[in-house]
Amino acid sequence: MSENEIAQRPDVSTINFGEDSGDFTNDDECDDPRFKGPGMTSTPLMEEDELADASDCRAAYERGELALIP
């Protein structure tokens, strides 16, 4: 992720992270295809992964390890 992407990230309070309903929640990797960055899983993601890994994605976003894909 570039410094520009990190600087332009929306405030965490404005993002709907969804819920923890996916198969790979609470594994310290974001499994939501709306994001990119080093906090992401390396496994291929599917449409149903969107909004299904809230805790992991929120934590990685708060650490500055994710950005929303425009």
Is a pLDDT exceeding 90 seen at residue 4? no
pTM: 0.88
Is a pLDDT exceeding 90 seen at residue 25? yes
Is a pLDDT exceeding 60 seen at residue 6? no
Structure tokens that stand for 12 in this block: 């965490």
Q: What is the pLDDT of residues 40-69, one digit of tens each?
A: 999 999 999 999 999 999 999 999 999 999
Q: Do residues 41 and 30 lie in contact, with contact meaning Cβ atoms separated by under 8 Å?
A: yes
Taking alpha carbons only, the member of 34, 65, 36, 37 closest to residue 50 is: 34
Would you list the DSSP string of 35-59?
EESTTB-SS---GGGTTS-HHHHHH
